[in-house]
Amino acid sequence: MKMQNFKLTLCYDGRRYHGWQKQGNTGNTIQAKIESLLSRILAQDIEVAGSGRTDAGVHARAQVCSFRAETSLSPEQLLNLIRRYLPDDIGALSLEYAEPRFHARLSCKEKTYVYRIWNSTSPNVFERGYTYTMSEPLNVPEMEKAAALIIGRHDFSAFCSNRHMKKSAVRELRSIDFTQNGNVLEIALTGNGFLYNMVRIIVGSLIEVGLGKRSADSLKQALLSMDRANSGPTAPAQGLFLWSLSY
Amino acid sequence: MKMQNFKLTLCYDGRRYHGWQKQGNTGNTIQAKIESLLSRILAQDIEVAGSGRTDAGVHARAQVCSFRAETSLSPEQLLNLIRRYLPDDIGALSLEYAEPRFHARLSCKEKTYVYRIWNSTSPNVFERGYTYTMSEPLNVPEMEKAAALIIGRHDFSAFCSNRHMKKSAVRELRSIDFTQNGNVLEIALTGNGFLYNMVRIIVGSLIEVGLGKRSADSLKQALLSMDRANSGPTAPAQGLFLWSLSY
C-alpha cells in the first residue's frame, strides 16, 4: 500500500462544537472528531490539517482538510465509510487524491466567509441557528461605504483579537459584498487570509455603522490606528459561515 | 373592558413539541404553551382554537388560532408581550382583532401543507431538521402523474390513519404541486381540509411511486378502495410544514 495524500471537503453545523481545532484531549472539536474517525476507519494514526480554524459555534458550508494515509481504499470507498459514521451535523462533501505537496492551510489561496444577519422584527424561527438576529433596521448603503474604505492590502491589527501576535498582521481583503435575501442580510468577505476574529470584528464594526452608532470614516481611522480599541465589538459566532476556499 | 375576539398567526419548529393539540395536563404542546402564556399575560383563563392539529414533530410556517379575551391592550401591545415571552422555536407573526364569529378552525376555507424532501446523496447538514432525507433518486414526473389521479373531491378514507372515524371522510384536494429547490423537492398540497395523517400518507404513497415501488395508477385504485391497507406508509413528520391558510 502506498502513502496517499487526500483532500477532504466538509460542511458542519458549528453549534455543538468547540470550533475546528483540537485542544489536547479536551473539547469537542471537529478536527478531533475527524481524526478519530479516520484513525478508526483506516486503522492508523491520522492527523488532518484544516484550511484554518473556525471558532466555537461557527459553521462551515465548506471546510477543506488534508491528510496522509496508507490505504488501498479508493477515495469513493473511503468517502462512503466516512459518511456512514459522521454525526448528522457534519457532512463529507467530497474526497479526492491530492498532489503530494498539497496542504489544506499552506496551499489555500483565497477564503470567503459569509456573515448572516436576520434583520427584521419578524420572528426568526427556522433560521435561528444560522443567523444573528437583529430587529433594528440597518443602513446597508452606509455599511457598503464603510466596507469600501477598508478593503485592500493592510495591516489589520485593529481587527484582530490576538493582542500578542508576533507574525505579520498584513492581509489582503479583496471584497466585502452585501446581499439581501428576504429578511436575511448576507455579508461576504473574501481575502487571502484572515486574522483571529477578524471577520467577526469587521462585521461588528459594520453593524455599528449600519445602526448609526459610528461613521463609515471611523472604520478607516480604526484600520490606520492599528489599535483594537478603535474598532467595534466581535459579532456573535452563530451568524458566521466559512463559505468557500480557493486552491 | 370589552370582550374581544383575536386572530393570532404563529410559526413554529415542531421538533421539541408533541404536536399542536393539548393533551390534558401532560405533553409539551404548542396549544398548551400558547394558552398558558396568554392566560398569564392577560390574567384570565384563555382558550385558543387552532386551525387544526399538527402532529408531533410537524412544523408550521403559519398556523392560525383564535381566542377571546377581555383586555384594554391593543393588538400591537399584546403582540409585543407575546413575542417577549415565547420560546425561540415559536414565533408570533401577527395578531389582529377578528369578527366576533371568527373561529380559526370553523372559518378556515383552505389549507396548504408543504412536504420537503432532501433528495440527494450529498450530506444534509443545515436542512436536516426541516426535511426528510432520501438519497435514492425520485421519478418526479411519475409522482406528478399519480398526484393528478387523486386530486378532486373524494372520500379519502384510504389516506387516513383513524380507522374508527365516524364523520365524513370526503374532502376536496385542490392541487398537488412539485417544486425542486436545489436538493430539496417540495410537495405542496392544497385542499379544503385534511384527515388525520392524510398529507403524510399521500406523500408516503407518492414516494413509493417515485421509487418505482408502485404504479401511479395504484394510487387511484387505493383511493377508490377506501381501504388504508392499499395506500403507502406515513411519511416522517420532520419534512412536513403547515404552510398557509385561507379565511
Smallest Cα distance from B11 to chain A, Å: 7
**A43: closest CA among A25, A74, A70?**
A70
pLDDT of residue A56: 93
CB contact under 8 A, B93 and A123: yes
Cell matching residue A238: 452563530
Alpha helices by DSSP H, listed for chain B, are 30-42, 75-85, 140-150, 198-210, 217-225
Among A45, A55, A88, A177, which one carries the catalytic annotation? A55
Chain B residue with the nearest C-alpha to that of A122: B93
Rounded to an integer, what distance in angstroms lies between the CA atom of residue A194 and that of residue A145?
Answer: 21
Interface test with B, best of A13, A125, A186 (most B CBs within 10 A): A125
β B110-119/B240-246 pair status: antiparallel
Smallest Cα distance from A88 to chain B, Å: 6
β A170-181/A184-191 pair status: antiparallel
Rounded to an integer, what distance in angstroms lies between the CA atom of residue B36 and that of residue B44?
Answer: 10
Alpha helices by DSSP H, listed for B8-108, are 30-42, 75-85
Residues sharing a CB contact under 8 Å with residue B153, sequence separation 6 or more, in sequence order: B170, B171, B172, B173
Smallest Cα distance from B121 to chain A, Å: 10
CB contact under 8 A, B11 and A91: no
Q: Compare CB distances from A125 to B90, B125, B128 and report the shortest one's residue.
A: B90
Rounded to an integer, what distance in angstroms lies between the CA atom of residue B122 and that of residue B149?
Answer: 32
pLDDT of residue B144: 98
Render pLDDT for B64-74 as a digit per residue (tens, 0 to 9).
Answer: 999 999 999 99
Q: Hey, what's the torsion of the CAs at A27, A28, A33, A34, to 10 degrees?
A: -80
**Residue A222 CA: distances (Å) to CA of A165, A188, A234:** 18, 21, 14
Helix (H) or strand (E) holding B4: strand B3-12
Cell matching residue B67: 381566542
Rounded to an integer, what distance in angstroms lies between the CA atom of residue A213 and that of residue B143?
Answer: 54
pLDDT of residue A24: 77
* DSSP SS3 for B15: helix
Chain A partners within 8 Å of B89 (Cβ): 125, 128
Rounded to an integer, what distance in angstroms lies between the CA atom of residue A189 and that of residue A113?
Answer: 5
pLDDT of residue A117: 98
Strand partners, A97: A6
β A110-119/A132-134 pair status: parallel
Chain B partners within 8 Å of A11 (Cβ): 123, 125-126
Positions of B marked active-site: 55
Q: Compare CB distances from A90 to B83, B90, B125 and report the shortest one's residue.
A: B125
Chain B residue with the nearest C-alpha to that of A11: B125
pLDDT tens, chain A, 247 aa long: 789 999 999 999 999 999 999 987 777 999 999 999 999 999 999 999 999 999 999 999 999 999 999 999 999 999 999 999 999 999 999 999 999 999 999 999 999 999 999 999 999 999 999 999 999 999 999 999 999 999 999 999 999 987 776 789 999 999 999 999 999 999 999 999 999 999 999 999 999 999 999 999 999 999 999 999 999 999 999 999 999 999 9
Chain A partners within 8 Å of B123 (Cβ): 11, 83, 86, 90-93
Rounded to an integer, what distance in angstroms lies between the CA atom of residue B56 and that of residue B97?
Answer: 29
CB contact under 8 A, B125 and A83: no
* DSSP SS3 for B118: strand
**B86: closest CA among B45, B49, B46, B38?**
B38
Render pLDDT for B133-170 as a digit per residue (tens, 0 to 9).
Answer: 999 999 999 999 999 999 999 999 999 987 776 789 99
Smallest Cα distance from A61 to chain B, Å: 9
In this structure, how many other beta carbons lie within 10 angstroms of the beta carbon of residue A136? Answer: 10
Residue with cell 373524494: B154
Render pLDDT for B26-73 as a digit per residue (tens, 0 to 9).
Answer: 779 999 999 999 999 999 999 999 999 999 999 999 999 999 999 999
Smallest Cα distance from B166 to chain A, Å: 37
Residues sharing a CB contact under 8 Å with residue A196, sequence separation 6 or more, in sequence order: A53, A160, A161, A162, A165
> Measured between alpha carbons, how far apart are the two ends of chain B, in Å?
28
Cell matching residue A5: 495524500
Render pLDDT for B181-204 as a digit per residue (tens, 0 to 9).
Answer: 999 999 999 999 999 999 999 999
Rounded to an integer, what distance in angstroms lies between the CA atom of residue B63 and that of residue B245?
Answer: 8
Rounded to an integer, what distance in angstroms lies between the CA atom of residue B38 and that of residue B32?
Answer: 10
Chain A residue with the nearest C-alpha to that of B133: A88
**B160: closest CA among B125, B201, B106, B204?**
B201
Chain B partners within 8 Å of A61 (Cβ): 126
What is the number of CB-based contacts under 8 A between chain A and chain B? 50
Q: Compare CB distances from B91 to A88, A91, A125 and report the shortest one's residue.
A: A125
* DSSP SS3 for A81: helix
In this structure, how many other beta carbons lie within 10 angstroms of the beta carbon of residue A86? Answer: 18
Rounded to an integer, what distance in angstroms lies between the CA atom of residue A242 and that of residue A36?
Answer: 23
Residues sharing a CB contact under 8 Å with residue A238, sequence separation 6 or more, in sequence order: A14, A15, A57, A59, A129, A130, A131, A132
CB contact under 8 A, A91 and B125: yes
**pLDDT surpassing 90 at residue B215:** yes
Give me the helix-helix angle, B198-210 and B140-150, nearest 10°. Answer: 140
Smallest Cα distance from A11 to chain B, Å: 7
Render pLDDT for B89-127 as a digit per residue (tens, 0 to 9).
Answer: 999 999 999 999 999 999 999 999 999 999 999 999 999
Cell matching residue B181: 429547490
* Residue B25's pLDDT band (cuts 50, 70, 90): confident
pLDDT of residue A16: 95
| Percentage above 90 pLDDT, chain B | 94
Buried b (16+ CB within 10 A) or exposed e, B4-19: bebbbbbbbbbeebbb
Q: What is the largest CA-CA distance in chain B?
A: 62
Render pLDDT for A76-114 as a digit per residue (tens, 0 to 9).
Answer: 999 999 999 999 999 999 999 999 999 999 999 999 999
Q: Compare CB distances from A89 to B11, B90, B125 and report the shortest one's residue.
A: B125
> Measured between alpha carbons, how far apart are the two ends of chain A, in Å?
28
pLDDT of residue A25: 72
The dihedral sign for the CA sequence A205, A208, A212, A214: negative
CB contact under 8 A, A83 and B123: yes
**pLDDT surpassing 90 at residue B4:** yes
> DSSP class of residue B23?
B
Chain A partners within 8 Å of B92 (Cβ): 123
pLDDT of residue B100: 95
Residue type, A243: W
Rounded to an integer, what distance in angstroms lies between the CA atom of residue B98 and that of residue B8?
Answer: 9
Cell matching residue B237: 413528520
Q: Which residues of B touch A (CB under 8 A)?
A: 11-13, 59, 61, 83, 86, 88-93, 122-126, 128, 130
Q: Compare CB distances from B13 to A90, A92, A126 and report the shortest one's residue.
A: A126
